[in-house]
């Protein structure tokens, strides 16, 4: 059976190959381990296996792992949907929030960062597939939102993040990755002061990270391919 070390090494190798194929420097791409539902032990094992960044989705799980120092030796990012009433548990504790999906949320993070006297690094989440059920800025409004938010004194806009529609067909999300890469370039050139600061494009998950890297991702968020399938919610079983 493959070990966690082998899966981490394989993912890194695939990222490297995809980057080289696209004429990119593999060192530009950071592997973020999506650690939702994993135990403290697994997170520690992943860090021993070379993971340098953990991405968490749920505030409660994150706090439990923090209390056990499970992320020691790695950076911590927040990648899940963040409600404004939970902002106080995240700001100042993570080095990057990927999932800023509204101006309202950005304002709440700004207020909390101000209160703590910190500057919080963030990405704007783009609803690149225009999905009704998903949060995030539409591609058309991203530029204006980026300009507004880059003026907030306690936020540092580092780039963009996207979760394209779930797509079963191989290569199905390429058009979205290419669209994100274009938006990212537009924002980097428009917000001139921040050209060196805006250097993060977070996109690509287990199914499609190589396509994302070929299109220009600087961060891929991998769960299943590193840790295996996540346990499903228990389904009530029929009594015989
Ligand atoms: C779970 C999750 C991932 C990783 O998904 P996999 O398909 O298991 O690689 C990436 N990004 C976010 C925001 C997630 O919630």
Tens digits of per-residue pLDDT, 148-179?
A: 999 999 999 999 999 998 877 778 899 999 99
Determine if ligand 1 sits within 6 Å of the CB of residue 174. no
Ligand 1 atom with the smallest distance to the CA of 99 is 13
Determine if ligand 1 sits within 6 Å of the CB of residue 57. yes
Determine if ligand 1 sits within 6 Å of the CB of residue 81. no
Ligand 1 atom with the smallest distance to the CA of 161 is 13
Determine if ligand 1 sits within 6 Å of the CB of residue 221. yes
CA end-to-end span of the chain, whole Å? 35
CA 209–ligand 1 middle distance (angstroms): 11
Contact indicator for 146, 102 with CB cutoff of 8 Å = no
Residue 74 is encoded by which pair of tokens? 């790695």
Contact indicator for 159, 201 with CB cutoff of 8 Å = yes
Ligand 1 atom with the smallest distance to the CA of 225 is 9
pLDDT in tens, 104-121: 999 999 999 999 999 999
Contact indicator for 109, 127 with CB cutoff of 8 Å = no
- d(CA 184, CA 171) in angstroms, rounded, equals 20
Q: What is the pTM of this model?
A: 0.94
CA 151–ligand 1 middle distance (angstroms): 30
Among 106-110, 195-199, 200-204, 232-236, name the one with the lowest average pLDDT: 232-236
Contact indicator for 126, 137 with CB cutoff of 8 Å = yes
Res. 133: pLDDT tops 50: yes
* Cα-Cα-Cα-Cα dihedral sign, residues 74, 213, 209, 157: positive
Q: Single out the residue of 86, 154, 78, 82 nearest to residue 116, CA to CA.
A: 154
Q: How far is CA 235 from CA 137, 178, 229, 232, 238, in A?
A: 34, 38, 16, 8, 9
Determine if ligand 1 sits within 6 Å of the CB of residue 38. no
């Amino acid at each position: 059976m493959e070990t966690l070390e082998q899966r981490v090494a394989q993912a890194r190798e695939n990222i490297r190959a995809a980057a080289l194929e696209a004429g990119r420097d593999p060192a530009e791409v950071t592997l973020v381990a999506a650690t939702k539902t994993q135990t403290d032990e697994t997170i520690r094992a992943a860090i021993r296996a070379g993971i340098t960044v953990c991405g968490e989705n749920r505030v409660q799980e994150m706090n439990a792992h923090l209390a056990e120092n499970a992320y020691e030796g790695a950076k911590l990012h927040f990648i899940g949907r963040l409600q404004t009433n939970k902002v106080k548990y995240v700001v100042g504790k993570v080095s990057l929030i990927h999932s800023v999906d509204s101006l309202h949320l950005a304002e709440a993070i700004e207020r909390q960062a101000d209160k703590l006297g910190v500057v919080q690094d963030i990405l704007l989440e783009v609803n690149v597939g225009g999905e009704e059920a998903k949060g995030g800025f539409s591609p058309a409004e991203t530029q204006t939102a980026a300009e507004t938010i880059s003026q907030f004194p306690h936020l540092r806009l580092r780039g963009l993040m996207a979760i394209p529609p779930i797509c079963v067909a191989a290569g199905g999300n390429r058009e979205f990755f290419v669209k994100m890469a274009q938006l990212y370039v537009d924002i980097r050139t428009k917000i001139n002061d921040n050209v060196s600061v805006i250097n993060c494009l977070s996109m690509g998950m287990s199914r499609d990270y190589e396509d994302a890297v070929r299109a220009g991702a600087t961060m891929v968020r991998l769960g299943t391919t590193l840790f295996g399938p996540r346990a499903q919610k228990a389904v009530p079983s029929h009594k015989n």
